[in-house]
Amino acid sequence: MKFVDEYRNAEITRKYVAAIARITTRPWKIMEICGGQTHSIVKYGIDKLLPPEITLIHGPGCPVCVTSVDLIDKAIALAANPEVIFCSFGDMLRIPGSHSQDLLSVKAGGGDVRIVYSPLDAIKIAQQNPERQVVFFAVGFETTVPTTAMAVYRASQLGIDNFSLLVAHVLVPPAMELILAAPNNCVDGFLAAGHVCTVTGYQEYQAIAQKYHTPIVVTGFEPVDILQGIYMCLKQLETGRVEVENQYARSVSYEGNQTAQRLISEVFETVPRQWRGIGTIETSGLRLQNEYSKFDALNRFRFKDTTVQETTDCISGAILQGIKKPHQCQAFGKHCTPEHPLGAPMVSSEGACAAYYRYRQLVS
């Protein structure tokens, strides 16, 4: 298959593994940002192919995982409202809230929870059900923001009044800065998320690389992509260079998708956002501009003021920041499984815990 098979080629993989071994002279720690990259690394055993000096650290690259417990609780409350049709991507349905309830259990109890593949699907549902309120759970990094922005723009143009968003979008660069600024930071280089940069480009990463003297390589998701990204990052580290390089040139340009960027800036503005297990990160979230605020579910519905506590049994915060790996959690595979998760990383399709459970349960 074009653009897949050639990036899983065993001969090319062996060449990059050998090239990495030749240039590595000292220990280095490289963090991959994207959960999709994490799953490829664990699935194909890429970390096992590298020299022992190279440590891959799994970063907070799962927007489902970092969605705050407070927003999950609000989603559950909306889904349980008999006047609401609650629309969501499928991987949000198993994420536990503060009382271990999730959207799937609300659906099982009679809530009208529907899996959609695009926020534009929720627009169609709103048109088909004018007597009901339709809420879309807007989750994702910059990759999925353009379609959310388009849905809001479309609803505004069509005059649809029974559609709104529960916005949980988060942005990658502020999370990278949080990690690099932490006193216990051990990241020497980054593999940036290729699909995010397809939208945003990588101009913004230049300032981060220079400020923290940390090389950044925009990287794809297949084994050859990841190994080439590691090789490019190591070449910088070993020679003392600090640059932002683009391994994923078949999809990413320096400027990114400027049409999508203009639409995002028209519909959204940046705000602080609470990240599950991590805390509040300034300018890391999005909310609707005043012109579109009527489509904000937080404005349309009333919610009780409550203080939400995250379970102390789940160490997802340490895992999402790369401080620990999934198998270092005492609950992993025992008290925390995909059937009975303590936290989101065990059930999200991009979660590090889910990757280790699926491909590496016997790791100790």
DSSP conformational letter for 221: S
Answer yes or no: is 269 within a domain. Answer: no
Compute the distance between CA of residue 67 and CA of residue 144 in angstroms, rounded to an integer: 14
Answer yes or no: is 256 within a domain. Answer: no
Mark whether 105 and 200 lie in a shared domain: no
Where would I find the beta strands (DSSP E) of the chain? Answer: 28-32, 54-58, 84-88, 113-115, 133-138, 163-167, 189-193, 216-219, 244-246, 268-275, 279-288
The domain of 57 spans 5-62+172-246
Mark whether 159 and 181 lie in a shared domain: no
Compute the distance between CA of residue 41 and CA of residue 240 in angstroms, rounded to an integer: 26
Mark whether 72 and 58 lie in a shared domain: no
Mark whether 80 and 149 lie in a shared domain: yes
What is the predicted pLDDT for the residue at 363? 44
Answer yes or no: is 263 within a domain. Answer: no
In 3D, which of 354, 361, 358, 279 has the Cα closest to residue 94?
A: 354
Q: State the CATH number of the domain containing residue 96.
A: 3.40.50.11740
**Residues whose CB is less than 8 angstroms from the CB of residue 175 and which lie 6 or more positions away in sequence, other chains included:** 33, 59, 60, 66, 275, 278, 281, 284
Mark whether 193 and 206 lie in a shared domain: yes
How is the beta sheet containing 84-88 ordered, strand by strand?
113-115, 84-88, 133-138, 163-167
Mark whether 191 and 42 lie in a shared domain: yes
Judge contact between 257 and 146, C-beta under 8 A. Answer: yes
Mark whether 58 and 86 lie in a shared domain: no
Identify the bridge partners of residue 67 per DSSP, sorted by sequence position: 275
Answer yes or no: is 278 within a domain. Answer: no
What is the predicted pLDDT for the residue at 364? 40
Mark whether 201 and 217 lie in a shared domain: yes
Identity of residue 79: A
Tens digit of each residue's pLDDT, the chain (364 residues): 566 788 999 999 999 999 999 999 999 999 999 999 999 999 999 999 999 999 999 999 899 999 999 999 999 999 999 999 999 999 999 999 988 799 999 999 999 999 999 999 999 999 999 999 999 999 999 999 999 999 999 999 999 999 999 999 999 999 999 999 999 899 999 999 999 999 999 999 999 999 999 999 999 999 999 999 999 999 999 999 999 999 999 999 999 999 999 999 999 999 999 999 899 999 999 999 999 999 999 999 988 777 677 777 899 889 999 899 999 999 999 999 999 998 899 999 899 999 999 998 754 4
Cβ-based burial of 250 (10 A; exposed 0-12, middle 13-18, buried ≥19): exposed
Q: What is the C-alpha R_g of the chain?
A: 21
Answer yes or no: is 265 within a domain. Answer: no
pTM (two decimals): 0.93
Mark whether 51 and 76 lie in a shared domain: no
In 3D, which of 132, 256, 139 has the Cα closest to residue 192?
A: 256
CB atoms inside a 10 Å sphere around CB 260: 19
Mark whether 71 and 158 lie in a shared domain: yes
In 3D, which of 170, 262, 181 has the Cα closest to residue 214?
A: 181
Compute the distance between CA of residue 5 and CA of residue 361 in angstroms, rounded to an integer: 27
Longest CA span, the chain: 66
Answer yes or no: is 276 within a domain. Answer: no
Mark whether 136 and 226 lie in a shared domain: no
Q: What's the token pair of residue 228?
A: 């080439």
Calculated CA dihedral for residues 119, 68, 141, 209, nearest 10 degrees: 170
Mark whether 220 and 154 lie in a shared domain: no
What is the predicted pLDDT for the residue at 4? 79
Q: State the CATH number of the domain containing residue 14.
A: 3.40.50.11750
Identity of residue 27: P
Which of 300, 327, 342 is the last residue in one of the domains? Answer: 300
Answer yes or no: is 37 within a domain. Answer: yes
> Count H helices, E strands: the chain?
16, 11
Q: Could you give the number of structural domains in the chain?
A: 3
Identity of residue 188: D
In 3D, which of 353, 293, 344, 324 has the Cα closest to residue 72?
A: 344
Answer yes or no: is 240 within a domain. Answer: yes
Identify the bridge partners of residue 233 per DSSP, sorted by sequence position: none
